[in-house]
Structure 1
Amino acid sequence: MAGRREAPLMRSGSGSGQPLSRGSRIAAAVAVGVTLGCVCAFLYPDGLISRSSDSALHWPRRADSVACETSEKVDYLKSQLASLERKNAEFRKQINELSMKLQMAEHGKTKALYRAGPFGTVKAFRTNPTVMPDETINPRLAKILQQVAVKKELIVAVANSNVKQTLEMWFTNIKRVGISNYLVVALDDSVESFCKSKDVPVYRRDPDEGIDSIGKTGGNHAVSALKFQILREFLQLGYSVLLSDIDIMFFQNPFDHLHRDSDIESMSDGHNNMTAYGFNDVFDEPSMGWARYAHTMRIWVYNSGFFFIRPTIPSIELLDRVAGRLSREPKSWDQAVFNEELFFPSHPGYEGLHASKRTMDIYLFMNSKVLFKTVRKDAYLRNLKPVIVHLNYHPDKEERMKAVIEFYVNGKQNALDHFPDGSE
C-alpha cells in the first residue's frame, strides 16, 4: 500500500523531512512584520495618517502653558532660595556668637586650669583669640579684602578730597617700597575717582548720612575720628589692620617689623626711651613733710594715627568705646579718647578695657619730633633706616615730607638741616 505524499510547505527548508514547529511559524511572522514596518517608515516618514490642522493649532498653546508654568516655578524657587539665604545668614550669625562665647569660655577655662611652674617661669596669656569672621556684614568689602590683603593683613588710610596732594605722596611711597596690601577708604567720590585713576586700591563705603557729611566737609580731626567706626567692619571680617594717617612716609615694609603679640601695637608720641616706654616720675609736695615725694608712673600717649589692631574682642570693644564717646563728645580729641580708653584702669564707677598693648620701636616707627630734634643731629642715628616717619609734630607737612624723602631715599645729607626743631 503506497504511502501518502506530504505537502511541500510542511517540510523544512533543510530537506530534513521534519514539519515546521509552531515557534518557527511565529518567528517568520515577526520577521515579515518588521520588514513591512521598515518599508512603511521609509516611504511615509510623517506617518500613514497626518496630524489634523486642529491639533497643530493646539500644540503652541500647550507650549505656552508649559512655559508659563515653568516661569512660575522658577519665581517660586527663587523666593525659596532667598528665604533660605536669609535663614542661613541668621544661623551663621548665631553660630558666630556661640563660637565667640565658646572661645572666651575655653580661654577662661584654660587660664583656670593653668598650673603655675617654677619661680621665674610663669607667663600670663598675652594674645587674645581672633573673632570668627562674618562676611555677611559687608560682602562687598569682604570681596575687596580678599583681593588686597596679604595673610589677612593690610594698611588702611581714610581720606577725603581736602588732602588729595598729601594722599598722593602717601601711596607713591608705599608703591616705591613694594607694599601691595594697602587700601584707601574714600570719603567722597572725588577721592574714589582719583585713586582709580592712579591704580590705587580704593573702597567707597555705602551711603551713610552721618559719615558722608563729615567725610566730605570735615577737617583732619573730624575725619580722623571716623576711622574708629569704619575699622570695625574690617575686624569683624577677620582682618588685622595697620591704620595709617596720610602724613606718613614708608621706607620699609612695616609688616616685617610687627610682633603681633598684642591686641594693639602703636607708635608713640614719646621722643626718647623714657617718654615712649614709661618712667617713674616723682611728684614733690613739700607741705607733706616726710611724705613730700610721691612716685608716679608716666608714659607719653600712643599715636592714634598709626597703630596695628588685631581682630579680637578687646580690639572691637576699644573701637566701640572710642566711637561711642566721640559721638557723645563731639569736641573731644580722638587721640586723647583713644588713650584714655586704652590705659585707664578699672575703678569705682568705671570698668577699664582689658586689652593687651605694645609700644613700637621709636626709631623704626619714628615721629617727626624724634627725627628733627634727635636723629638728624646724631651721627649714628642718621644712618639708621626707619620703617616709617610720621610728620605728626609739624604743620608744614608737605615740605618736610619732601625733605624726608630726599634724605632717606635720595641720600641728600643736608635735606633736613634748614628746618627748625619745632614749628616756630
Structure 2
Amino acid sequence: MMTGRRDGPLMRSGSSSHSFRKSRIAVAIAVGIAIGCVFAFLLPDGLFSVAGPPLRSGRLIKADFQGESSSSSGESSERMSMLKSEYVAVSQKNAELKKEVRELIEKLKLAEQGKDQAQKQVLALGKQQKAGPFGTVKGSRANPTVVPDESVNPRLAKILEKVAVNRELIVALANLNVKEMLEVWFTNIKRVGIPNYLVVALDEDIAKFCESNSVPVYKRDPDEGVDSIGKTGGNHAVSGLKFRILREFLQLGYSVLLSDVDIVYLQNPFDHLYRDSDVESMTDGHDNRTAYGFNDVFDEPRMGWARYAHTMRMWVYNSGFFYLRPTIPSIELLDRVAARLSREKAWDQAVFNEELFFPSHNGYDGLHAARRTMDFYLFMNSKVLFKTVRKDTSLNKIKPVIVHVNYHPDKLPRMKAVVEFYVNGKEDALKPFPDGSDW
C-alpha cells in the first residue's frame, strides 16, 4: 500500500507531461502547414525565383494585366518578331560552328594519321622488342597489307576473283594505238602458261579485240577527261594514267605486276619475285653499278683539299614494269605520282622515281616505302640485250624472264626478233639491229 501511494502521483504526473508534449507537436505541425499554404499562394515560384522579379498576389497581377493589356499588345508582337529573328540568327551561327568543329575534327584526324607514321607502321607489325646481339638485328621490310574493300569497285572485284592467282596478277593498259604490240604481248603470255593476267581496255575496239582472242579484259566505266587520254593518248599519256587506275586494284587487296605492252614474256615472272617490299621494280641500269648503286666521286679542283665529294648514284626504276603489294605506302606512291602528273607537265617515270627515292627534308615528307631492284639479267631492258648480252656467248645463253623493249622506238620488230631468238632459236635474229636507235 505504501508503495502504491508513492508511485500513484508520479505516474499521473508523467502521463500528463506526455500528453502536453504531443499537443505542442501537433500545434507546431499545424502552424507549419498554415505558413506553407500562405507562401504557396503568395509565392508560387518559390522564394528564390531565377526567372524574373518576385511574383505578386493574384489580385495585383490581375489588376496589372487589365490595365496594361491594351498598351502592350503591340509591344508583344514586336518582341516576338525580334525573338524569332534572334532565334534564326543563333541557329545559323550554331550550324556554322558545328561545321567548323567537324572540319577541325577531320584536320585533327589527318594530322594524327600523319604523325609518327613510321613508328606506327613498325608497331602495327608486332610488339616492341629488345635489340639482339651484334650482327643479328634485321628490320622488317614488308609493310602489312590493307584490308580489302570491295565497295570500291564491285564489278572489278568479281573479275579479279576469277583471274587472279594467290591474289596477284599482271595488269596492262592498252588502246588501239598499241594493238599489234598487245598481240605479241598476250600471245607470249599464253605460250608461257601464265593464267593470271588482265588487260585494262581504254577503248571499245581493244575490249572487243581481247574478247575475240579469249584474253581477260576489263573495260572501265566512262570517266570524262581520263577516257579521252586513254582513247587517244600516246605511250607517255597512257603511262601516266595507269597510276590512277592501279589504285583500285590495291584497294581491293590484290598485288599487281604492272606491265607495258612492249614486253616479251619468256618465263612466269611470279616464280622470280621476292615479295618482301612494297615496290619491286626492274631497272634501267645495264650493269651491277648502274642497276644496284655505286659511290660516285665528284671532283671540284678549286676546293683544294676538299675537292672530292662522294655521291651515291643508281639508274632509275622503270615505270613500265613493277610489282606493287597492296600496302599503304604503295597506295600513297600511286596517289603522289597521279597528283603530280595532274598538275605538272612531267614524265611519269621521273616523277615515279622522285617520289620513291627523295628523302624527307625541310618542307617535304619522303615516302616510307620498302624497295627492291629486280635482277637486270632476268628482268632485262633492251639496252642490256642489244648492247651487251647478244654479243656475249655466255650471257646470251641465259634465258631472261622478260625482255622490255624500252630503250628503242622500233619496238614491234625488236619484240618479234626477241621471240625468234629466245623461243624459236634463231641465233642471228638480233644481229640486224643497231645497239641504239637510228635517231
Alignment partner of 1:294 is 2:314: no
Alignment partner of 1:363 is 2:377: yes
Residue 203 of structure 1: how far off its partner (Å): 0.2
Alignment partner of 1:193 is 2:208: yes
Of residues 421, 424, 438, the one that matches 1:407 is 421
Of residues 377, 382, 394, the one that matches 2:408 is 394
- 2:109 corresponding residue in structure 1: none
- 2:367 corresponding residue in structure 1: 353
Of residues 304, 314, 325, the one that matches 1:310 is 325
- 2:170 corresponding residue in structure 1: 155
Alignment partner of 1:136 is 2:151: yes
Contact 1:103 1:129 survives alignment (8 Å): no
- 2:90 corresponding residue in structure 1: none
Give the distance between the partners of 2:119 and 2:204, measured in 1 at CA.
41
Query: What stretches of structure 2 of length at least 5 have no aligned partner?
Result: 1-112
Of residues 202, 210, 213, the one that matches 2:225 is 210
Query: 1:162-203: CA deviations, max 9, x gaps?
Result: 111111110001000000100000001110011000000000
Query: 1:259-284: CA deviations, max 9, x gaps?
Result: 00000000000000000000000000
Residue 107 of structure 1: how far off its partner (Å): 3.9
Amino acid at match of 2:169: L
Residue 211 of structure 1: how far off its partner (Å): 1.2
TM-score, with normalisation over the residues of structure 1?
A: 0.75
Residues 104 and 168 of structure 1, relative CA distance in 2, 3 Å threshold: farther
Which deviates the most, 348-357 or 104-113? 104-113
Residue 110 of structure 1: how far off its partner (Å): 5.7
Query: 1:290-349: CA deviations, max 9, x gaps?
Result: 0000000000000000000000000000000000000011x2000000000000000001
- 2:396 corresponding residue in structure 1: 382
Higher Cα Rg, which structure: 2
Give the distance between the partners of 1:148 and 1:404, measured in 2 at CA.
27
Give the distance between the partners of 1:284 and 1:105, measured in 2 at CA.
42
Residues 109 and 144 of structure 1, relative CA distance in 2, 3 Å threshold: closer
Give the distance between the partners of 2:223 and 2:242, measured in 1 at CA.
14
Query: What stretches of structure 1 of length at least 5 have no aligned partner?
Result: 1-97
Contact 1:128 1:262 survives alignment (8 Å): yes
- 1:5 corresponding residue in structure 2: none
Query: 1:85-143: CA deviations, max 9, x gaps?
Result: xxxxxxxxxxxxx9xx9998574266772210000000011000000000011000000
Amino acid at match of 2:227: D
Which deviates the most, 160-169 or 316-325? 160-169
SS in structure 2 at match of 1:261: coil
Alignment partner of 1:116 is 2:131: yes
Residues 273 and 339 of structure 1, relative CA distance in 2, 3 Å threshold: same
- Counting only pairs closer than 5 Å after superposition, residues 39-118 of structure 1 correspond to structure 2 as 105=120, 107-108=122-123, 113-118=128-133
Give the distance between the partners of 1:275 and 1:401, measured in 2 at CA.
24
Q: After TM superposition, which residue ranges in structure 1, 4 or more long, deviate above 6 angstroms?
A: 101-104
State, as a whole percentage, how many aligned pairs show the same letter. Answer: 76
Amino acid at match of 1:407: F
